A and B are shown apart, each in its own frame.
Chain A
């Protein structure tokens, strides 16, 4: 505490207290400002989105000014990406935490963490070269793969962290009973980390379902109802982008309503993930 200079005369004390008050005030203001932005955005979304909102939007496709195909398309790609990415991510996380020792595991862990923050549009460019061009055009598979590539590092990170939290005695107790290592991992450790893992996966899902950039030129979007993944596939985020850029008021209003619905979906998934952890912790 060499740097802690405390001066105790009355004048300096008052000055210190004043400085303290100012800085604390600034700090509180920062937090308040952040909250203001949050509410501003949410309120804007609500006002602009609710005016044109109606349940029929969920039953019509974009070609009829509804969002059915877009929402379902986005969900389909995100779900497929999750189905592909979660097993890979969890197994990789298991390797890092349970089997890996030393340099190789650490390198992969660091690389995976870096990929978590990598530019998503570049991933789109990669998938464009690897899938879109060979397949002859934008398609739903390419979008799914792009989302999966974004999801995997997140799942690896979550798995790594959650497994780390499992006390080592639990592992030892399993081994001490004569269980093989993989049995201990599957029966005991994964179970112990279950809640944390589920929350992590849910949050990762919420993140990729709101992505636009990796889909822009891999799966694009489609105004029509389709389940054909070999062509342009409906995406609510890409459509919002297109609609917002359209010069008509009608298109922009659609964009707002779609934004409102997308945000509600993402925040709901997010909140439900957090609630699930809280419930477990209360036990």
Chain B
């Protein structure tokens, strides 16, 4: 049987045309929230 590789991913997205500074702020806060709770995913 051939292998099946399933790549699952859950993320957060904003509407298009959301200003870059807002997206960057949300990205920073999301990363802080996820790393502080689950540890680094890098």
**A complexed with B:** no
